[in-house]
Structure 1
Amino acid sequence: MMADDDIIKGIKKTHERMENIFRRVFTDPLALSGRGVWMPTCDVYETDENIVILIEIAGIEKKELKITLEGNYLNIKGFRKDPSKKDGRRNYYYMELNFGPFERLVFIPCAIKAEDVTVEYEQGLLKIMLPKLNIGDKEEKVIEIE
């Protein structure tokens, strides 16, 4: 019964997130123009010990980052300042860089040790290492029947 409750909670949380995404896209004119909350590129991979997330966020100060873990989701939020704002009026030939608020929600595919998560930020790459939780031993155990 407890597992069913957890599944239902997970479905409700996913539904809420989807509603938030659709609400943002259809009610925020900046989201449609590409100038609202942007999503940085990332790689997620697994090693023997960790789930590793690499996020490309050059030009962002550490103090502008917020990382939270909620259930099986890691949420990375931040803000990148536009250094060209001080240039005044400007005419663009290319406008491909994203500035302003960003958010990246990453699904974590397995249980992790939340207290042992480590984060490095170097040369524009944010590296988040989530140690996997080893569930069960590899050794065979005999279980007594009472």
Structure 2
Amino acid sequence: MVNKPRTKSAAAQTLEIEEEKEAPSEPAIFDQEGELVIDVFETDVDFVVLAAIAGIQIKDIDISLEKDMMVIKGSRPDPHENSNKKYFYQECYWGPFSRKIVLPENIDIDKADAQMDKGVLSIKIPKIENNGRNKLGVKIS
């Protein structure tokens, strides 16, 4: 006779997962920087980066642009850092964050503009027309 390991039903497994989610827990300890969640798109005239960064002002954000890379850095201070608290859920990231974004070639980084409105950082970089002048030709022998 072969004994098969007893498995839990799908309903029992789901219940255990839900109970684990609902149990109060200690705050998460983050060993590394958080990464911003972003939307990146282009319009007819601009390359646009949007990032939701609530709880901080634009003056506290460092945006650097190089030839083909944008780096956004900052830190979101925990508004209740020194209070005695017991978390039930902790999903908001507090602390340092950064994000690197590869940029297309057809933009004018000297005319980049950043604005913050209602916790959403918006960075617009105008596109430039590339009339084929920057293309490198390779001669095939």
- TM-score by length of structure 2 reads 0.69
Q: Which whole-Å CA distance do the structure 2 matches of 1:43 and 1:82 have between them?
A: 24
Alignment match, 1:108:
103
Which of residues 33, 36, 43 is equivalent to 1:40? 36
Alignment of 1:50-61 (within 5 A): 50-61=46-57
Q: Which whole-Å CA distance do the structure 1 matches of 2:117 and 2:64 have between them?
A: 20
Q: CA deviation at 1:35?
A: 4.9
Higher share in helix: 1
Is the aligned partner of 1:125 residue 2:120?
yes
Identity across aligned pairs (percent)? 34
Q: CA deviation at 1:36?
A: 2.8
Alignment match, 1:85:
81
Q: Which whole-Å CA distance do the structure 2 matches of 1:111 and 1:74 have between them?
A: 14
Q: Which runs of 5+ in 1 are unaligned?
A: 1-32, 138-146
Q: Which whole-Å CA distance do the structure 2 matches of 1:34 and 1:81 have between them?
A: 13
Conserved 8 A contact 1:36-1:100? no
Q: Which runs of 5+ in 2 are unaligned?
A: 1-28, 133-141
Shift in alpha-carbon separation, 1:35–1:93, aligned structure 2, 3 A = farther
Conserved 8 A contact 1:35-1:98? no
Equivalent residue of 1:84, what SS? coil
- Larger RCO: Structure 1 or Structure 2 (Cα < 8 Å, ≥ 6 residues apart)? 2
Aligned Cα root-mean-square deviation (Å): 1.8
Alignment of 1:6-45 (within 5 A): 34-45=30-41
Residue identity in the other structure for 1:104: R
Equivalent residue of 1:63, what SS? helix
- TM-score by length of structure 1 reads 0.66
Which of residues 66, 70, 75 is equivalent to 1:74? 70
Residue identity in the other structure for 2:124: M
Work out the number of aligned pairs and report it.
Answer: 105
Deviating 4+ runs (over 2 angstroms): 33-36
Alignment match, 1:62:
58
Equivalent residue of 1:115, what SS? helix
For residues 70-112 of structure 1, the C-alpha deviation after alignment (integer angstroms, 9 at most, x for no partner) is 221110000111001131x321110111111100111112321
